[in-house]
Structure 1
Amino acid sequence: MKKIIQLIGLGAAVLFVSACGKDFLDKRADKALLVPQNISDFQAMLDNYPLMNTTPIQGEIASDDNYTTEAGYLGLTSQTEKSAYTWSKEPVPGFIGDWTNMYIHVKYANIVLEGLEKIEQTPQNQLEYNLAKGTALFFRAQSFYEMAQIFAEPYVEAKADKTPGIPLVMVSDVNVREGRGTLRQTYDRVIADLTDAAGVLPVTVPVKSRPCKGAALALLARTYLTMGNYEKALSFATSCLALQSKLIDYSTLNAASTRPFPAVLPYANDEVLYYSCFLSYSFTANTTTMVDSTLYRSYNSNDLRKVIFFNDRGKGVITFKGAYSGSGFSNHFTGMTTDEVYLVRSECYARKGDAVNALADLNTLLVTRFKKGTYVPYTASTAEAALNIILTERRKQLLFRGLRWTDLRRLNLELSRAITLKRILGTQTYMLPPNDPRYVFLIPQDELAGNSIAQNPR
């Protein structure tokens, strides 16, 4: 992994200088000394917004919540987008942001964690120290988790010890090169980092581009759900909601607005625990990127999401406007939220056979999404029936947040829920069967050239 880390090291140095600002430069006029020295320096590295608050986008482009026209496809600005959209078997030459950017996050986190080990903890600096440490651990865990959704197979407990994971870079030394290890090692590291982060992060932070304790617990719940460990996912979802359970009443929002949700930053959206967004690509910004029409029609006429999430442009053209990023933010939100945590806990209850509590959580959420006085609570005679309802509503609530790709991967492992995806561009039809190798993206060619790790199969 030496090649990519050398690139990251250069980028980190440049971006760190820009993030820390004039005061830091004034104190370190000698370029040789432009290295972080104290806790505030390390926190400045982690506060490098928006660099540290981005997540991969290839899975979103490849998912079934969206489609584009042939003209829209031809107008995409990168081969990465085009290849993801058609589930291409061919490698994309050159830079792949989903890989490189996540390892920049990891590089920053490792620099901070190594630096903090050299600083004495005192009663005076403990809160500041814990925030920097917890933030670094969260960013590293989030990066490893997100990369596992793109560049590693879906988690299956029975074969996790034999399935390749991702390179777990745990030091900032560019001479250390990591192999892929196993998928179990990847998820074990994500869980260990998040558990440690949850132990030191504060309950509240001054700006939501920083993770809080609830965000770490929410990501633990998401991780365990992805692994199919519903007991642990339920436990962490419950712990998260004990800290923060607020939901937005959608009837208070302006459905006619081009961006109906309040700006997340610094602290306006009550449902948001932590802010991140997709890496910037043309696909999510294009008006030719449209919402699946069957999905759009599935919303009840009294369901406020139908007008708050979507623009009906006429002639069957439906586009998405309901990003939780809020006003002033053009990219789609991918962070941690209470609505997702309610849906995680609801699904876990159902999978454990508890339809009553499963639907109680779902109804608590959905009553805030409908016109006042119109919501009819869901009921179900069995836990399986409840689960089917919950999975449908999960998709309807969490679309365009980077979660659908992971959901497709994990649900394809269940025969009754496996689906084949289909794209039509002009006269060409593209298909993606369940559990196809293309549900795992290829590792960038540039990375393979500098590191002797195995490529994902095709």
Structure 2
Amino acid sequence: MNNRLTQLKPGRLIAWRGYLSILLLSCISYSCQKDFLDTVPDKGLLVPEKLDDFQALLDNSSEVMNVVPFYNTISDGDFVMSDEGLDGQLPQYRNLYTWASDIYDVTTVVDDWYRPYKQVFYANVVLDGLKELNTDGADVQRYQAIKGSALYYRALAFYNLAQEFAQPYDAATADKTPGIPVRLESDVNIKSVRGTLANTYTRIVDDLQEAETLLPDKGVALTRPGKSAARALLARVYQAMENYEQAAKFATSALELAHELVDYNDLDTAAARPFPIPLTDGNPEMIYYSRVNTAFLNQLTVTAEPALYNSYDDNDLRKRLYFTEGGNYKGTYLASAYPFGGLAVDELYLIRAECSARKNDADNALADINTVLIKRWKTGTYVPYTVTDPAAVLQIVLNEQRKELVARGLRWTYLRRLNKDSRFAVALTRSYKGSKFTLPANDLKYTFAVPDDEISGSGIEQNKR
């Protein structure tokens, strides 16, 4: 099938050449798909003009589109690093680890800010370009899938930025709390502004809901989103917003499309990388592939926080699949040094379990917990939970969320949300060279500073820390 569409309208060509020259430099730096670049005779005047071109921009998966932030993973308290290990880290990482007020030094490139906004830029280039194409005779389903993918990527980037650079969502104050810059155009000359947190989350939800209507049920590859990914991400977003009714709704609808769990009894606990490589061997539990952009955890000087490690029963296979006997992190669903940061079926069961527990529906909450755990324990050793006390059920669910979803870039958001409830608030503590460091519940340091050059360039408000 010929997917070439008509070229961009002449009145837009000059502007697009400017935007896409920037994009071309980014693509070259981040290994944008080679076949796309090689077909352009004049790379200084690169202008996407067919669906293949737009898809190629979104398929820059290994360095741009399928990478999620990592500062939260260093800061979330689930792992500890020895003094010797910290001595060898960049100052920025030591600052993140000890929750310093000033994280960045003068040489810092704030990857967790710039990479998501690169994703937003790519998505906006595609969305702007699709508006300028004449769809007569086009492959409509593919056009819709590409548009839906761009909306999904943009929403995911905005969501990830909000977890680090905006305060935790609170419905009572969201319309008065600064959000993040929500850029909806690819024109880099438009100055960034900060709207409210309510505006930020409204845009995230709107993008995802539109994406869900456009995408196929499942992406043709794990690096591409489908309806299942859009619904799963909506469940995650609504959970962060403490809208548990909507979180349960979208978790359930996502599970209608993807519900298979891996039986951990089929994996080799003695292996250095026990899980299959998802992009070559597949993983039926994975809905959408992303990697947390750091190998910080995969060092001999890093071990699981002792209370977390000891919370796994010896018959719980996760203890040996996720960690070595000494507590070093093995990696999980990516089968690599990089943690998995995407979406998977187990998270959906656990989101729905929490939603059920919060409305005192112990039976359904524990049904979802038991569904997951029977696949995680040695065959014949797991005794299903039968607790009836609502508070106890909710605590069980929250404990299992931490144990199941370790090192997925989620713990930081969970802490930000749960710390608002005194029943679950925790103060994180760490030590380095004899000094003790504490991050109290609800501390302003749960929101990272916006990079200084962004403040000076756009004049947006800095976060208080």
- TM-score strictly above 0.5: yes
Q: Distance in 2 between matches of 1:231 and 1:449?
A: 41
Question: Which 5+ residue runs of structure 2 have no aligned equivalent?
Answer: 1-17
Asked whether the 8 Å contact 1:97–1:279 carries over to 2, the reply is no
Q: Tell me the residue number matched to 1:75.
A: 88
- Show the counterpart of 2:339: 332
1:10 shift after superposition: 6.3
C-alpha spacing 1:221/1:301, structure 2 compared with 1 (3 Å) = same
User: Could you say if the C-alpha distance between residues 407 and 380 of structure 1 is closer, same or farther in structure 2, counting changes exceeding 3 Å?
Assistant: same
Q: Residue by residue, what CA displacement relative to the aligned partner does 1:129-151 show, whole Å, maximum 9, x if unpaired?
A: 11211111111000000010000
CA contact (8 A) 1:201 1:212 kept: yes
Q: C-alpha separation between the residues in 2 aligned to 1:25 and 1:157?
A: 45
Q: Which of the residues 292, 312, 316 maps onto 2:325? A: 312
Corresponding residue for residue 34 of structure 2: 21
Alpha-carbon offset, residue 391 of structure 1: 0.3
TM-score (norm 2): 0.92
Cα distance in structure 1, aligned partners of 2:226 and 2:261? 17
Report Cα offsets for 1:374-405 as digits up to 9, x if no partner. Answer: 11001212222111000001100000000000
1:167 lines up with 2:181 in the alignment: yes
Structure 2 distance, partners of 1:123, 1:197, is: 22
Contact between 1:80 and 1:96, CA under 8 Å: does it hold in 2?
A: no
Of the candidates 425, 436, 453, which is equivalent to residue 432 of structure 2? Answer: 425
- Which amino acid counterpart does residue 398 of structure 1 have in structure 2? L
Give, in angstroms, the shift of residue 446 of structure 1: 1.5
Measure, in 2, the Cα distance between the counterparts of 1:361 and 1:202: 26
Number of residue equivalences: 443
**What is the rounded CA distance, in whole Å, between the counterparts of 1:160 and 1:266 in structure 2?**
42
Query: Is residue 8–residue 107 contact of structure 1 (8 Å, CA) maintained in 2?
Result: no
Q: Do residues 142 (structure 1) and 169 (structure 2) align?
A: no
Structure 1 contact 303–370 (Cα < 8 Å) conserved: yes
- Aligned-pair CA distance for 1:276: 0.5
Matches within 5 A, 1:77-92: 78-92=90-104
Change (3 A) 1:430 1:127: same
Give, in whole Å, the separation in 2 of the partners of 1:119 and 1:10: 19
Alignment of 1:157 onto 2:167: no
In structure 2, the residue matched to 1:393 is: 400
The reply to whether residue 247 of structure 1 matches residue 256 of structure 2 is no
**SS across alignment from 1:310:** coil
From 351, 354, 357, the counterpart of 2:361: 354
1:426 Cα offset (Å)? 1.7
The question of whether the paired residues in 2 share the 8 Å contact of 1:353 and 1:383 is answered with: yes
Residue 122 and residue 202 in structure 1: after superposition, are their counterparts in 2 closer, same or farther (change >3 A)?
A: farther
Distance 1:27 1:396, change over 3 A: closer
Per-residue CA deviations over 1:276-327 (Å, capped at 9, x if unaligned) read: 01123x52232211101111111112111111111013xxxx111142112x
- 2:425 maps to 1:412: no
Q: Which segment is superposed worse, 127-136 or 97-106?
A: 127-136
Matches for 1:291-310 after TM superposition, within 5 Å = 291-310=304-323
For 2:260 and 2:460, how far apart are their aligned partners in 1? 44
The one of the two structures with greater contact order (alpha-carbon pairs below 8 A, sep at least 6) is 1
1:49 shift after superposition? 1.9
Which one-letter code corresponds to 2:93 in the other structure? E
Per the TM alignment, residue 205 of structure 1 is displaced from its structure 2 partner at its CA by: 2.5
Q: What SS is found at the alignment partner of 1:243?
A: coil
Give the CA RMSD over aligned residues: 1.6
- Alpha-carbon distance in structure 1 between the residues aligned to 2:331 and 2:317: 11
Find the counterpart in structure 1 of residue 23 from structure 2.
12
Compared CA separation, residues 292 and 86, structure 1 to 2 (3 A): same
State the partner residue of 2:332. 323
Query: How far 1:121 sits from its partner (Å)?
Result: 3.0
Letter of the aligned partner of 1:298 in structure 2?
Answer: S
Letter of the structure 2 residue corresponding to residue 45 of structure 1:
L
| Alpha carbons 1:325, 1:333 under 8 Å: kept | yes
Structure 1: tracts of 5 or more residues without a match: 1-6
What TM-score do you get using the length of structure 1 for normalisation? 0.94
Q: Is the 8 A contact 1:208 1:266 kept in 2?
A: no
* Secondary structure class of the residue paired with 2:32: helix
Alignment of 1:232-243 (within 5 A): 232-243=246-257
Q: Give the percent of matched residue pairs that are identical in Structure 1 and Structure 2.
A: 44
Q: Is contact 1:66–1:289 with CA below 8 Å preserved after alignment? A: yes
SS class of match (2:224):
coil
Match of 1:438 among 434, 442, 445: 445
Contact residue 218 and residue 236 of structure 1 kept, 8 A:
yes
C-alpha distance in 1 between matches for 2:281 and 2:130: 28
The secondary structure found in structure 1 opposite 2:100 is coil
Aligned match of 1:286: 299
Equivalent pair of 2:339/2:407 in contact (CA under 8 Å)? yes
Query: Contact (CA 8 Å) 2:272, 2:330: kept in 1 or not?
Result: yes
CA distance in structure 1 between the partners assigned to 2:445 and 2:38 by the alignment: 50
Q: Partners in 2 of 1:56 and 1:270 — Cα distance?
A: 24
> Does residue 200 of structure 2 align to residue 186 of structure 1?
yes
Secondary structure of the residue aligned to 2:129 is: helix
Does the 8 Å CA contact 1:95/1:446 hold for their aligned counterparts?
Answer: no
CA positional deviation for 1:28? 2.3
Give the Cα–Cα distance (whole angstroms) in 2 for the partners of residues 162 and 25 of structure 1. Answer: 45
Q: Which residue identity is paired with 1:253? A: L
Partner residue, 2:67 = 54
